[in-house]
């Protein structure tokens, strides 16, 4: 990221998590930079703080950037010092990347991929490649190794889809006082990420879905990332997520939860138009068949990651209530 002593980083995620602790706090300590603490993330207040403190660096989840884009005062806020925008925890839709490039031309976006078990990022996007390789999380960082394996733990060739296993000196040796979990999640120094993805011949890593979140519609695999990126291109879309709706015939059908700016294209009256929008960009079996329009944001944990388990529970509860 090219950080130095003159940089000022906004701590907008919990310092108790690896993203806040390592990627923000320890990074700034290492270069002698400044940490600007964000008490609570509210987009309008955040932008005012960014301008007042001349913040140069952020590391947030894509939804936080999207909320900044929706603020009417964004164009009139002096954010000229903001030069590096790191993100992780979820893919950033191309529509958001393009909107940020237009609104903040001096901001360089860099995707990073890692986990608590890796104690720091495993991959990062090379500078200047975010738009060109928007469907990837960049390349493995020095000392990190990413291997793609099949269901039997056999390494797959470049371009093939399987589970991502990660190794390197930054990976923890196991789980504290839990030998069963350690045995299940580590093999020969590699941690089993639980993410489905691929590594191409140039070394770019793609993350398609969590193994547990991939949908199987009548034998056809549906990866959340692809569908959610299309949904995010809908004008006014703030957040979108898909989950599987149980079906006795197909096993699962695609259901979308969406949170749209109330002033723009939101509400059940737009369901047919949204499905038609998706049908122009996706194979028919990937198009959401049903949609839940939410006035409130989608549920996230303290680290900003989407909690699809709660969405599934909400969907099942609604189905039970209408039965």
Q: Return averaged pLDDT per consecutive 10 residues of the chain, 323 residues in all.
A: 96 91 95 97 96 97 91 96 92 89 96 94 94 94 97 97 97 97 96 97 95 92 93 91 94 95 79 96 96 92 86 89 76
Q: What is the CATH code of the structural domain delimited by 8-114? A: 3.40.50.980
The answer to whether the beta carbons of residues 239 and 66 sit under 8 Å apart is: yes
Tell me the whole-structure pTM to 2 decimals. 0.88
The hierarchical CATH code for the domain 215-322 is 3.30.300.30
Statement: 141-209 belongs to CATH 2.30.38.10: yes
Q: Where in the chain is the domain with CATH 3.40.50.980?
A: 8-114
Centre a 10 Å sphere on the Cβ of residue 57 and count the other Cβ atoms it contains. Answer: 25
What are the angstrom distances between the C-alpha of 193 and each of 97, 115, 151? 26, 8, 13
Length of the chain counted residue by residue:
323
Neighbouring CB atoms inside 10 A of 223's CB total: 20
Helix (H, G, I), strand (E, B) or coil at 38: coil
Centroid of chain to Cα 188: 28
CB atoms within 10 A of CB 163: 18
Q: Whose CA is closest to 112, among 129, 96, 94, 124?
A: 124
Torsional sign, CA 86, 144, 138, 254: negative
Instruction: Give CA–CA dist 311/217, Å, rounded.
Output: 18
Location of each CATH 3.30.300.30 domain in the chain:
215-322
List 111's β-bridge partners, or say none: 87
Q: Which residues contact 23 (CB under 8 A, 6 or more apart)?
A: 59, 86, 112, 120, 121
Give whole-number Cα distances, 90 to 63, 93, 153, 293, in Å.
9, 9, 25, 21
For residues 23-39, b (16+ Cβ closer than 10 Å) or e, as one string?
bbbebbeeeebbbbebe
Residues 140 and 270: their CA atoms lie apart, in Å, by 41
Report the distance separating Cα 161 and Cα 197, nearest Å.
5
Q: What is the distance between the alpha carbons of residues 36 and 46, in angstroms, rounded to a whole number?
A: 11
Q: Are 88 and 19 in contact (CB under 8 A)?
A: yes
**Nearest-5° angle of CA 42, CA 43, CA 46?**
80
Query: Can you give the pLDDT at residue 92?
Result: 87
Identify the pLDDT of residue 54.
Answer: 98
* Residues 307, 197: Cα–Cα separation, whole Å: 20
CATH 2.30.38.10 intervals, the chain: 141-209
Rounded CA gap, 271 and 106, in Å? Answer: 37
């Amino acid at each position: 990221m090219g950080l130095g002593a003159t940089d000022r980083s906004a701590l907008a995620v919990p310092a108790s998590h690896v993203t806040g602790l390592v990627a923000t706090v320890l990074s700034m300590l290492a270069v002698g930079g400044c940490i600007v603490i964000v008490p609570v993330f509210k987009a309008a207040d955040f932008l005012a703080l960014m301008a007042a403190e001349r913040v140069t660096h952020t590391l947030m989840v894509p939804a936080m950037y999207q909320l900044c884009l929706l603020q009417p005062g964004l164009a009139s806020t002096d954010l000229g010092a903001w030069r590096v925008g790191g993100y992780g925890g979820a893919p950033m839709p191309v529509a958001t990347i393009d909107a940020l490039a237009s609104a903040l031309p001096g901001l360089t976006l860099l995707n990073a991929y890692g986990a608590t078990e890796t104690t720091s990022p495993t991959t990062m996007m090379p500078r200047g490649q975010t738009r060109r390789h928007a469907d990837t999380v960049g390349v493995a960082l020095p000392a990190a190794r990413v291997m793609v394996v099949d269901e039997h733990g056999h390494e797959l060739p470049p371009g093939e889809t399987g589970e991502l296993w990660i190794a390197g000196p930054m990976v923890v040796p196991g789980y504290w006082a839990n030998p069963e979990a350690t045995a299940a999640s580590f093999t020969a120094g590699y941690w089993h990420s639980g993410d489905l993805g691929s590594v191409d011949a140039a070394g770019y890593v793609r993350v398609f879905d969590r193994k547990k979140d991939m949908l199987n519609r009548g034998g056809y695999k549906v990866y959340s990332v692809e569908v959610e990126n299309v949904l995010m291109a809908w004008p006014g879309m703030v957040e979108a997520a898909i989950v599987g709706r149980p079906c006795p015939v197909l096993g699962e059908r695609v259901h979308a939860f969406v949170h749209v700016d109330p002033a723009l294209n939101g509400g059940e009256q737009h369901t047919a138009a949204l499905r038609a929008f998706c049908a122009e960009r996706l194979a028919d079996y990937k198009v959401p068949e049903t949609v839940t329009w939410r006035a409130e944001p989608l549920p996230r944990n303290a680290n900003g990651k989407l909690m699809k388990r709660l969405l599934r529970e909400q969907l099942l509860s609604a189905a039970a209530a209408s039965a």
